[in-house]
Structures are given as C-alpha cells and as structure tokens.
Amino acid sequence: MKHAFVFLFALSIHAAEPAKIAPATETDPRLHADGQGWKLDKAKVTDPKLPRVLLIGDSIVGGYRKDTIAALAGKAYVDVWANPYCQSTHTNKVLADVLTHGPYDVVHFNMGLHGWQEGRIKPGTFEPLMKAYVEVLKTKLPNAKLIWASSTPVTVKDKPAELDPEANPAIIEQNRMAAKVMAEMQVPVNDFYSVLVDKRSLARGDRFHWTAPAYKLLADMCIESILKALPKR
C-alpha cells in the first residue's frame, strides 16, 4: 500500500509539471523575431504572493516588454511569450500548453502580423478561431483578467510615411474581426493600431517594426491597463 501511495504521488507531481513548448519557426523571412527569438521567457518568482502576468505577442512585444516589466517590478511577475503564430487550431493547442506555466492573473495578448498573407488563415475561419483562442484562456485561467491588443500598422519599406498596400488592409480587417470577437466575449481592447497609425514617422522603415519612442507609447498603454486589472492586495 505504501509503494502504491508513493507511485500515485509521483504521478500527481508529474501531471502538474508545465508542458514543454515546442520550438516555433517562421518561414517568411520578412517576419523575423527582431533579435529576441520565439520562446516563452519566464520571470524568476521569489515571492509567491505577487500576481503573475503573461504578455503574448509577435516581435512587437519585444519592443514594449522591457518597459512593461520594469514598471511592474515589485507589483507582479511578468512572463513573455513571443511567437510567430496566427489563428489556427494548432496555435490554440500550443496556447493551452503555455498556460500550464501559470497560473496567471492577467494576460495581455496580441496576434496578427503573421497571418495577413493569403492562404495562412482560411476565409471564414478567423473569427471562430479567435473565439476559440479566448475560450482556451478563459477555460485554463477562469479567474484571470484578459486584455487584447490590436495589431500595429504595416508601412512601406523605406517609406514609413506610407501604409503598406499589401499587408495593411489585411491587418485592418483582422483588427476589426478581432474587436468584434472581444466585444462578444467581454474582453477589453488596447488599440495599438490607432496609437501608431498617425505616428508613422516613428516606424523603423522595415515595414513591421518601430523605434523606441513608438514602443514607449505601446508600453504606457499596456502598463496602465495591466495595473488596473491586477488583483487588489
């Protein structure tokens, strides 16, 4: 009986272990990780009483993560999952694995710059896949506050004053559909697109990425919303 108890206890410990996150890749060379890599970066938790926050995004999250983490120091631990995924059933499965590294009190999430190319998301599937993504968050983290961030504008390479005629219309449409889903599911939205669309002079000139002052604007919006969402101590 004693051996059986030890065996069952070991099984319970194993079951509670966070899932391993499979390496992610992006086949489109235009959509690189901007130096940060695609991975889940976990904060070192030394005070279990502090809340935990998860930032989810593409390479853009690499621009505002540092200021966000600094502003929340002493208030919450911040994990960052930078990934190249777009709306799909596979993405939702990977998300469920990532959430086993929680639990998280607040999740600030974005997904969009890797799904504008024709064929990546089948027509008519964006909204149901986006809704399923939110349902994974709500199922795995029933007590967490969720905040959606819209995707940022795409500008013409070497002409940042101009919006990219190939990708940006798709970004606008996906932001619209995502906002519809978030309204239905009562998830507040940080409109990153509106923050930067009239500040294209702050774009880096490589179509997708931005300069430090632009990322500071995104960080300020992100920080403000997370501070409001953190559980009261």
Average pLDDT, 10 consecutive residues per value, the chain (233 residues): 44 62 74 80 96 97 97 98 94 97 97 88 96 98 98 97 96 98 98 98 96 98 98 79
- At 32 the pLDDT is 72
Say whether 124 sits in a helix, a strand or coil: coil
**CB proximity list for 101: less than 8 A, separation 6 or greater:** 18, 19, 40, 42, 79
Residue (of 83, 215, 65, 82) closest to 152 by Cα position: 215
- At 68 the pLDDT is 98
- At 6 the pLDDT is 42
- At 16 the pLDDT is 64
> Please, what are the domains in the chain?
36-229 (3.40.50.1110)
- At 28 the pLDDT is 66
Tell me which H or E stretch contains 133: helix 126-140
d(CA 204, CA 202) in angstroms, rounded, equals 6
